[in-house]
């Protein structure tokens, strides 16, 4: 229903001053010009008069019934002026002067004059209409007066696109019926004869009331009756014309049709306002829903990334060594997979998360929403802290793995060396205890005893020579213990057994010597030649055994210098072989000389040298073994030399590539820093340039992949140092990640500037001016201004923030806006936001509250039913789920508080 009281308050012009109506332009002058017809036409067209009587009567009664009355005859019932005054009070919402209740003609004229004066007070020029004609029941004048009232109170305030009155009402009809077939509204007479335009207006606003597709253009009476009956029953629009009045008239009365159509306009004006309000609310809610979706995405991505970091850190902090090289090499391979496969996507996720966070905050600022505060533990700073913890845990992990592999390699080498030396020693000691426990000297001859003494002396010499080997075995066992060898128990058990046996041999040797020396005084014969043989054969035999042991000794080296040292030592050993061979020949010559003397003196020898078990056959056999081992040692050393030369090639190959990639990354980092400061051209040009630059960086990735392959070859070869470069693979990886992250952040900054520029309406010239001013005062190129730099920048842009009381207050106000956290720095994004914020037209909480009030029918609360009727389903449910119950004194069942909901959308307190 039309609020005539509000319409009257909005009416603020009069014809005498030449003012315009609500739509500007035409106003009273436009529609009153046609009222000259009332003066020119002595009589109305009978058909038109009939239509006007019906229409105007129904229109008057639609308002008079609010006061509990109506009229039957429009000529007669307004003659005393009483119902005329009442009609004006109802439609204007104002009180007229008190009517005169007398029955005389003068009383009636006075009442009608009071009504006409009120009409004139509203700026309406009454042409040729006087109180006497109305009191006398002049039909023409009475209809003219009612038409003037209809124009003023029902049509005058209609405005569509700066048109008013008739033109505005016609444009509204054209707009609403445009989508409907067979409807073409060009006027207020012929265009309405087939009834389709009336039905289209109803269907457009209340589609559930009309089955438009079933209407036929060739059945106008049915169409008109359908529209009039539906309007009366559901829209509270009284039936103002009969279908036959319109169909049977060549040209229906324009004023009657306008009056009827204006009732439709006012019936749907509330829907129009509600539609506008609903559109505003939908727009605001859509922004909020999108932002909430972005917030949920951030929370989910942040949780996933933090959970991955939480799972990964303990794995990197686990420094419990494995027992074998194979197990440690598997851990190293797992770590390589982590750096090559698992971590790079997480680096990208972390960078994208920061970009999404910055973009979300920019959108919130642009839509006048409060900044997004992630849930506890999911702030960007929390993710950065977690990432730093991850990288701290990662730091040194690879070095620890390599050191462990080196330690295990050393342990395996030592363990093998221990087993080899222990086996040689155990083979030598085999049967020695039984020999030392013999009591053969009790039945031996003197010569035999002397031989036994000499033999024992030779054994003692041999025993002393083996002392060094026992100490080496014990030292190796001790080193294995100190390096925490996993099989130390068995090593210690075997070592202890060797030491115990060695002590037993020492004790037995001492006991046997005492026994032999006790008897030695009684024994004198000795074969000096055999003794000399034994004395020289024993050390030579030991020398050969040591030589064979050295030639079979395992070795491990890590550099070309170390292997060349071993080759040099081996060459030096080979240079002693001629002297050793001469010593061998000399020893064998002693044995031959003994045999020659025995033969020449017909001495019958017992067969073997009584002073030693080292026979010429043994010496020759061991010498042959030495001769065989020398070339094998040559081959092993040459193989290792080739391996170390290959390792040196790998070092140089990696260094050559790293010494190119490392400086390239450093140069690109410096170039990005310059680009972010010296940005020229439009933001789109800058964004395009940065993305091309980013592609050039990404295209460089194969160089890093090649370096990773070379690094893997170095690690597989167990190369632990490289003197040819200062760049490690770790340095290269970290630099590459920082390079990708920096260019991505720089691109995001420009994208946010474009977003801000477009949302705030900043021109490209303004943006360039802002950037130039900002860069001019950013002396250290750090991307942020200190307070004094920022003040100088503001002054250069015309702000009055000089050092006086008023200027300081204004500067402090601006600083509270651009630096709410009091960090002492102003970023370029904050600077742009400030320069555009105060002039930007954005939705406000008050505007949203006003829109909800329209949907609620001017109530202080709204119901779920009203929300579901006026808003799309998803947005209606969104509001219902978040609106608190309304607690005001006028609350009704199910009332919801739209005011607190609206203020919460903008982060404001409900005042």
Residue 518 confidence (pLDDT): 66
CB 845 within 8 A of CB 903: yes
Of 18-32, 222-236, 776-790, highest mean pLDDT:
222-236
In this prediction, residues 812-824 reach a mean pLDDT of 84
d(CA 378, CA 364): 19
Residue 605: predicted pLDDT? 60
Give the helix ranges, DSSP H, for 678-763. Answer: 683-699, 701-716, 729-760
Q: What is the DSSP letter of 885?
A: B
| Structure confidence by residue, pLDDT tens digits, 134-145 | 898 888 889 889
Q: SS3 of 42, please?
A: coil
Secondary structure class of 827 (helix, strand, coil): strand
Tokens 């207020």 locate to 188
Separate counts of helices (H) and strands (E) for the chain: 35, 6
Domain ranges of the chain: 277-412, 659-836, 845-906
Q: Read off the DSSP letter of residue 248.
A: T
In whole angstroms, give the CA distance from residue 868 to residue 278.
11
Q: How confident is the model at residue 3 (pLDDT cuts 50, 70, 90)?
A: very low
Q: What is the pLDDT of residue 338?
A: 86
Q: Identify which of 721, 717, 705 has the alpha carbon closest to the alpha carbon of residue 657.
A: 705
Q: Classify residue 828 by its DSSP letter.
A: H
For the cut 60, the answer to whether the pLDDT of residue 857 exceeds it is yes
Domain 277-412 class in CATH: mainly alpha
Specify whether the CB–CB gap between 240 and 55 falls below 8 A. Answer: yes
State both tokens at 792. 């100088």
Residue 784, SS3?
strand
Orientation of helix 845-855 relative to helix 898-905, angle to 10°: 150
Contacts of residue 619, defined as CB under 8 A and 6 or more positions apart, other chains included, come to 537, 540, 541, 544, 584, 587, 588
Give percent of the chain with pLDDT exceeding 90: 21
Average pLDDT, stretch 277-301?
Answer: 85
Dihedral (Cα; 493, 497, 502, 507), 10-degree rounding: 130
pLDDT score for 879:
93
Contact (CB, 8 A) for 115 and 96? yes
Q: Is the pLDDT of residue 578 over 90?
A: yes
Q: What is the pLDDT of residues 413-472, one digit of tens each?
A: 888 887 888 898 888 888 888 888 887 766 655 577 778 888 888 888 888 888 888 888
Q: Of 551, 416, 394, which Cα lies nearest the Cα of 487?
A: 416
Nearest-angstrom CA–CA distance, 88 and 119: 8
Residue pair 580/545 in contact by the 8 Å Cβ criterion: no
The C-alpha atoms of residue 110 and residue 105 are separated, in whole angstroms, by 9
Give the C-alpha distances (Å, rounded to integers) separating 131 from 15, 75, 117, 146, 241. 21, 13, 10, 13, 28
Please, what is the Cα angle at 59 between 53 and 60, to 5 degrees? 90
Cα–Cα dist 781/775, whole Å: 7
Instruction: With cut-offs at 50, 70 and 90, classify the pLDDT of residue 15.
Output: very low
Structural tokens at position 840: 């930007």
Is the pLDDT at 526 greater than 60? The verdict is no
- Least trusted range by pLDDT, from 220-224, 339-343, 554-558: 554-558
For the segment 74-79, the average pLDDT, to the nearest whole number, is: 88
Q: Report the distance separating Cα 278 and Cα 290, nearest Å.
A: 18
Local confidence band at 772 (pLDDT 50, 70, 90 cut-offs): confident
Locate all alpha helices (DSSP H) within 151-253, ordered by sequence: 165-177, 196-205, 220-234, 243-247
Cα separation, 543 vs 788, in Å, equals 87
Minimum mean pLDDT range among 225-234, 262-271, 795-804: 795-804
Q: Indicate whether 359 pLDDT > 60.
A: yes
Token pair 């009483």 is found at: 82
Over 80: is that where the pLDDT of 111 sits?
yes
Answer yes or no: CATH 1.10.238.10 is held by domain 845-906.
yes
Average pLDDT (553-558) is 79
Average pLDDT of the residues of the chain:
82
**Would you say 854 and 274 are in contact if contact means Cβ atoms under 8 Å apart?**
yes
Q: Which residues contact 473 (CB under 8 A, 6 or more apart)?
A: 418, 421, 422, 425, 495, 498
Query: In the predicted model, what is the mean pLDDT of residues 639-660?
Result: 88
* Cβ atoms of 436 and 513 closer than 8 Å: no
- pLDDT at residue number 493: 92
Band the pLDDT of 660: cuts 50, 70, 90: very high
This prediction has a pTM of 0.54
**Which tokens sit at 788?**
């004094």
Per-residue pLDDT band for 284 (boundaries 50, 70, 90) equals confident
The helix/strand/coil state of 863 is strand
What per-residue confidence (pLDDT) applies to 14?
30
Q: Which two tokens stand for residue 231?
A: 């309007």
Architecture of domain 659-836: Up-down Bundle (1.20)
CB atoms within 10 A of CB 386: 21
Fold identical between 659-836 and 845-906? no
d(CA 234, CA 237): 8
848 CB-near residues (< 8 Å, 6+ apart): 280, 281, 284, 902, 905, 906
CA–CA distance, 6 with 2 (Å, rounded to integer): 9
């Amino acid at each position: 229903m039309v609020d005539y009281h509000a319409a009257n308050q909005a009416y603020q012009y009069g014809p005498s001053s030449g003012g315009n109506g609500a739509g500007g332009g035409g106003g009273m002058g436009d529609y009153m010009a046609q009222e000259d017809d009332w003066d020119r036409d002595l009589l109305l067209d009978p058909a038109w008069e009939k239509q006007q009587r019906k229409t105007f009567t129904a229109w008057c009664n639609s308002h008079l019934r609010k006061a509990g009355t109506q009229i039957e005859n429009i000529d007669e019932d307004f003659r005393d002026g009483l119902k005329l005054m009442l009609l004006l009070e109802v439609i204007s919402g104002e009180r007229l002067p008190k009517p005169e209740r007398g029955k005389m003609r003068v009383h009636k004229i006075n009442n009608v004059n009071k009504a006409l004066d009120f009409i004139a007070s509203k700026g309406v020029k009454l042409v040729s209409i006087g109180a006497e004609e109305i009191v006398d029941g002049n039909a023409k004048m009475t209809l003219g007066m009612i038409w003037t009232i209809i124009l003023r109170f029902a049509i005058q305030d209609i405005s569509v696109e700066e048109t008013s009155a008739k033109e505005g009402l016609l444009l509204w009809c054209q707009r609403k019926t445009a989508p409907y077939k067979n409807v073409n509204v060009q006027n207020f007479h012929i265009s309405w004869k087939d009834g389709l335009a009336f039905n289209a207006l109803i269907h457009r606003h209340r589609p559930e009331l009309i089955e438009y597709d079933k209407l036929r253009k060739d059945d106008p009476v049915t169409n008109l009756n359908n529209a009039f009956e539906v309007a009366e029953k559901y829209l509270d629009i009284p039936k103002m014309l009969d279908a036959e009045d319109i169909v049977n008239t060549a040209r229906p009365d324009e004023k009657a049709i306008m009056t009827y159509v204006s009732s439709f306009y006012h019936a749907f004006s509330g829907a129009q306002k509600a539609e506008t309000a609903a559109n505003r609310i939908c727009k605001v809610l859509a922004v909020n829903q999108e932002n909430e979706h972005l917030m949920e995405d951030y929370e989910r991505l942040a949780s996933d990334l933090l959970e991955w970091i939480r799972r990964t850190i303990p794995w990197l902090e686990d420094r419990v060594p494995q027992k074998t090289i194979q197990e440690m090499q598997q851990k190293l391979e797992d770590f390589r997979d982590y750096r090559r496969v698992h971590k790079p996507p997480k680096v990208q996720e972390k960078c994208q998360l920061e970009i999404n966070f910055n973009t979300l905050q920019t959108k919130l600022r642009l839509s006048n929403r409060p900044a997004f505060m992630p849930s506890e533990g999911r702030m960007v700073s929390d993710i950065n802290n977690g990432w730093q913890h991850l990288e701290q845990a990662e730091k040194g992990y690879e070095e620890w793995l390599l050191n462990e592999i080196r330690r295990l390699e050393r342990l395996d080498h030592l363990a093998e060396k221990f087993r080899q030396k222990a086996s040689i020693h155990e083979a030598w000691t085999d049967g020695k205890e039984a020999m030392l426990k013999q009591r053969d000297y009790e039945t031996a001859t003197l010569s035999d005893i002397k031989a036994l003494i000499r033999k024992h002396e030779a054994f003692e010499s041999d025993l002393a020579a083996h002392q060094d080997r026992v100490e080496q075995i014990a030292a190796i066992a001790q080193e294995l213990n100190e390096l925490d060898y996993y099989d130390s128990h068995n090593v210690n058990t075997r070592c202890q057994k060797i030491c115990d046996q060695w002590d037993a041999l020492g004790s037995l040797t001492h006991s046997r010597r005492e026994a032999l020396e006790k008897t030695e005084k009684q024994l004198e014969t000795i074969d000096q030649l055999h003794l000399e043989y034994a004395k020289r054969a024993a050390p030579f035999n030991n020398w050969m055994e040591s030589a064979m042991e050295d030639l079979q000794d395992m070795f491990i080296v890590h550099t070309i210098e170390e292997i060349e040292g071993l080759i040099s030592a081996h060459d030096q050993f080979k240079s002693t072989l001629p002297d050793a061979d001469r010593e061998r020949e000399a020893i064998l010559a002693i044995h031959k000389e003994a045999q020659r003397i025995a033969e020449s003196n017909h001495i019958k020898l017992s067969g073997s040298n009584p002073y030693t078990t080292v026979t010429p056959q043994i010496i020759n056999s061991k010498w042959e073994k030495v001769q065989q081992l020398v070339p094998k040692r040559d081959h092993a050393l040459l193989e290792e030399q080739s391996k170390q030369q290959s390792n040196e090639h790998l070092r140089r190959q990696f260094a050559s590539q790293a010494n190119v990639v490392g400086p390239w990354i450093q140069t690109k980092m410096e170039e990005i820093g310059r680009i972010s400061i010296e940005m020229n051209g439009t933001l789109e040009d800058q964004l395009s340039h940065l993305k091309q630059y980013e592609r050039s960086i990404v295209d460089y990735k194969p160089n890093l992949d090649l370096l990773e392959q070379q690094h893997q070859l170095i690690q597989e070869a167990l190369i632990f140092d490289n003197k040819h470069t200062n760049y490690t693979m770790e340095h290269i990886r970290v630099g590459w990640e920082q390079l990708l992250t920096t260019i991505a952040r720089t691109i995001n900054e420009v994208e946010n500037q474009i977003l801000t520029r477009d949302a705030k309406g900043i021109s490209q010239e303004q943006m360039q001016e802002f950037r130039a001013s900002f860069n001019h005062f950013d002396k250290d190129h750090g991307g942020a201004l200190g307070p004094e730099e920022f003040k100088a920048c503001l002054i250069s842009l015309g702000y009055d923030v000089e050092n006086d009381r008023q200027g300081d207050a204004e500067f402090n106000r601006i600083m509270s806006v651009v630096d709410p956290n009091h960090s002492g720095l102003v970023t370029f994004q904050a600077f742009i936001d400030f320069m555009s914020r105060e002039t930007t037209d954005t939705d406000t909480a008050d505007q949203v509250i006003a829109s909800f009030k329209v949907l609620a029918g001017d109530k202080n609360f709204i119901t779920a039913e009203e929300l579901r009727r006026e808003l799309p389903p998803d947005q209606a449910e969104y509001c219902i789920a978040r609106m608190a119950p309304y607690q005001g004194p006028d609350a009704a069942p199910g009332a919801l508080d739209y005011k607190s909901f609206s203020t919460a959308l903008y982060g404001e307190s409900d005042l």
